[in-house]
């Protein structure tokens, strides 16, 4: 990403590793180790041998000394110091695992415990006020396989399949001093075959750029799963005081690499890969847990993220922001639609009203016209009648006059006629 620049002199940031070293020592280290296996496989003894201490002693008895009915998950915390480096070591025991007659779901309390540690870390990481975040997540799980010499038991397979994606699983062959080297070889091959067959992902050693380291890593890979022997007792062998198990036929030395793979386990677990185990837990297992948890919270289990695959990389807050924007857009659209519908309906109604008004107006006009026509008719009729009557009356008057005239004439004639006789009589 950046430009390569050559330095023309000593600057001094090569001291950064020292600064980091200094700070890490000051801070101190922590590591959480879980041991799982049936009772009697020598788990406590192995822990004591690994850390050269009596983690489990008479005062603090190991799990096998306690009889359990169901699988428990128990923690022991110890603070150990060596060479100026302080380590807070937490050992998580699972007494009762695989000891019952019916062992279905005996892994569930273990899974729950691992998840609850992830949950604690997630919660403290997500607080608003974050302080020191204690890391109690399980960094490594040592799984003890009984040295049957044949293969993995169904319980072994089931357990590893369920836990390989939650924690770094390192399978170990316990009490390896009951197997001869050849038997051990066979057993290991068989186990690795079965592990591959069931696609179990056990802890893988990381590749490095260093040739030397890669060679070492290859050597370890060839010996997986490691066959270990543990011991609480120190025995004198050839003038040396060693940890071992005394048999009539000899001493099985814990730290002798010809006898067992204990030293490989110790070196790998503690001296070279402790930090890597923590990093894989943090960067892979924890992140898987977290993304699954947050995806569930964001979508409330709805399968929205199937269609929009890329949204799963957003934070829940960004998700809410997106939803807010979507909602605003949706509201705007809804508002527009409602507005449209409203306008349309109003227009309709107004139109109807107008039509109705026009209709009524038309009818009214028609009626008025009708009435006017009738009026006119009537007027006409009256006029005609008046005219006729006037004519007739005029005619009648004329007739009457004529009649009067005739009658008067007649009357006069008659009068004259009547008078005449009277005249004739009276005249001599």
Partner 1 sequence: MASTEIARQAGEGARAVPLSGHVGFDSMPDQLVNKSVNHGFCFNILCVGETGMGKSTLMDTLFNTKFEGEPTQHNQPGVTLKSNTYELQESNVRLKLTVVNTVGFGDQINKEDSYKSIVEFIDAQFEAYLQEELKIKRTLHSYHDTRIHACLYFIAPTGHSLKSLDLVTMKKLDSKVNIIPIIAKSDAISKSELAKFKIKITSELVSNGVQIYQFPTDDESVAEINSSMNSHLPFAVVGSTEEVKLGNKMVKARQYPWGTVQVENENHCDFVKLREMLIRVNMEDLREQTHTRHYELYRRCKLEEMGFKDTDPDSKPFSLQETYEAKRNEFMGELQKKEEEMRQMFVQRVKEKEAELKEAEKELHEKFDRLKKLHQDEKKKLEEKKKSLDDELNMFKQKKTAAELLQNQAQQAGGSSTLKRDKERKNLGSL
Cβ–Cβ < 8 Å for 140, 167 = yes
Tokens of 43: 């788990």
Tokens 């001094």 belong to: 12
* Torsion of the alpha carbons at 13, 14, 16 and 21, rounded to the nearest 10: -160
Phi, psi of 74 (to 5 degrees): -125, 145
What is the smallest separation between the CB atom of 410 and partner 1, expressed in angstroms? 9
What is the smallest separation between the CB atom of 68 and partner 1, expressed in angstroms? 22
What is the smallest separation between the CB atom of 217 and partner 1, expressed in angstroms? 14
Tokens 């922001």 belong to: 321
What is the smallest separation between the CB atom of 18 and partner 1, expressed in angstroms? 8
Select 186 or 282, whichever has its Cβ closest to partner 1. Answer: 282
> Cα 196 to chain center, whole Å?
32
Q: Which residues have a Cβ under 8 Å from the Cβ of 223 and sit 6 or more positions away?
A: 188, 261, 264
Select 67 or 405, whichever has its Cβ closest to partner 1. Answer: 405
Beta strands in 94-233 (DSSP E): 140-145, 169-173, 226-227
Select 122 or 192, whichever has its Cβ closest to partner 1. Answer: 122
What is the smallest separation between the CB atom of 321 and partner 1, expressed in angstroms? 10
Select 178 or 305, whichever has its Cβ closest to partner 1. Answer: 305
Phi, psi of 39 (to 5 degrees): -70, 150
- Residue 409 half-sphere exposure, CB side, CA atoms within 13 Å? 6
Select 52 or 100, whichever has its Cβ closest to partner 1. Answer: 52
Select 2 or 239, whichever has its Cβ closest to partner 1. Answer: 2
What is the smallest separation between the CB atom of 279 and partner 1, expressed in angstroms? 7
Select 3 or 104, whichever has its Cβ closest to partner 1. Answer: 3
The DSSP bridge pattern shows strands 234-237 and 226-227 to be unpaired
The DSSP bridge pattern shows strands 169-173 and 140-145 to be parallel
What is the smallest separation between the CB atom of 346 and partner 1, expressed in angstroms? 6
How far from 341 is each of 128, 334, 347, 350, 354, CA to CA, in Å? 47, 10, 10, 14, 20
């Amino acid at each position: 990403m950046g430009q390569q620049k050559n330095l023309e002199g000593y600057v001094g940031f090569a001291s950064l590793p020292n600064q980091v070293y200094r700070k890490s020592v000051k801070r101190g280290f922590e590591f959480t180790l879980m041991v799982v296996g049936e009772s009697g496989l020598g788990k406590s003894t192995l822990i004591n041998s690994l850390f050269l201490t009596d983690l489990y002693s008479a005062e603090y008895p190991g799990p096998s000394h306690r009889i359990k009915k169901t699988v428990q998950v128990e923690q022991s915390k110890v603070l150990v110091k060596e060479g100026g480096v302080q380590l807070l070591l937490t050992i998580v025991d699972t007494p009762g695992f695989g000891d019952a007659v019916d062992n279905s779901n005996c892994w569930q309390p273990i899974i729950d415990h691992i998840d609850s540690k992830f949950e604690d870390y997630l919660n403290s990481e997500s607080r608003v006020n974050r302080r020191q975040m204690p890391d109690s997540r399980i960094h490594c799980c040592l799984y003890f396989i009984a040295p049957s010499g044949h293969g993995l038991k169904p319980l072994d397979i089931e357990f590893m399949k369920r836990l390989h994606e939650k924690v770094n699983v390192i399978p170990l062959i316990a009490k390896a001093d009951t197997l001869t080297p050849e038997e051990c070889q066979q057993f290991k091959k068989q186990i690795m075959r079965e592990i591959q067959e069931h696609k179990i992902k056990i802890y893988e050693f990381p590749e490095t750029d260093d040739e030397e380291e890669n060679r070492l890593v290859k050597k370890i890979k060839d010996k997986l799963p490691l066959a270990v022997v543990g011991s609480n007792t120190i025995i004198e062998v050839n003038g040396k005081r060693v940890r071992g198990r005394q048999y009539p036929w000899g001493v099985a030395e814990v730290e002798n690499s010809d006898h067992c793979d204990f030293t490989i386990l110790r070196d790998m677990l503690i001296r070279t890969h402790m930090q890597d185990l923590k990093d894989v837990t943090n960067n892979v297992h924890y992140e898987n847990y977290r993304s699954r948890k947050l995806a569930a919270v964001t979508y409330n289990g709805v399968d929205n993220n199937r269609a929009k695959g890329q949204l799963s990389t957003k934070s829940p807050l960004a998700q809410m922001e997106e939803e807010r924007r979507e909602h605003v857009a949706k509201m705007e659209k809804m508002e527009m639609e409602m507005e449209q519908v409203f306008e349309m309906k109003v227009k309709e109604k107004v139109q109807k009203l107008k039509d109705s008004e026009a209709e009524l107006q038309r009818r009214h006009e028609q009626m008025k016209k009708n009435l006017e026509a009738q009026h006119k008719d009537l007027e006409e009729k009256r006029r005609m009648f008046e005219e006729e009557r006037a004519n007739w009356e005029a005619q009648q008057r004329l007739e009457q006059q004529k009649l009067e005239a005739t009658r008067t004439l007649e009357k006069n004639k008659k009068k004259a006629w009547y008078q005449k006789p009277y005249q004739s009589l009276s005249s001599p």
